[in-house]
Amino acid sequence: MYVVVFVTAGNKKKAKLIAQEVVKRRLAACVNIIDGVESLFWWKGKADSGKEALLVIKSRKDKLQALIKAVKKAHSYEVPEIIALPIVGGYKPYLKWIDESVR
């Protein structure tokens, strides 16, 4: 099964470091970085907000635990957002490419 994993980081530079780590370790086939995401959230008893960069990571479910571990190690947040969603379908050559890229 394939997954898309969302991770937010404090800025584009930090997001790129995380992306490079998971791709280099072949835990992700591709990572898109979307800079300038405005996040509103509940943290330590109050509403807060901030600018972040969003990573959209394409991988496989069997790599998820190792991916989570790598993201946590490279991340600066106390509790980083790491949310995986299943990919229920897609263009078969692209899904095959994920398989070939993530070993």
Model confidence over 57-68: pLDDT tens digits? 999 999 999 999
What gap in Å lies between CA 19 and CA 45, rounded to an integer? 30
- 80 neighbors 8 (Cβ within 8 angstroms): yes
- 55 neighbors 21 (Cβ within 8 angstroms): no
What gap in Å lies between CA 48 and CA 51, rounded to an integer? 11
Task: Give the pLDDT of residue 39.
Answer: 96
What gap in Å lies between CA 93 and CA 9, rounded to an integer? 30
User: Which pTM does this prediction carry?
Assistant: 0.95
Residue 75, H or E segment: none
- Reading the block at residue 56, the tokens are 């959209």
Below-70 pLDDT ranges, the chain: none
Alpha helix stretches (DSSP H) within the chain: 12-24, 64-74, 92-101
Full set of structural domains in the chain with CATH:
2-101 (3.30.70.120)
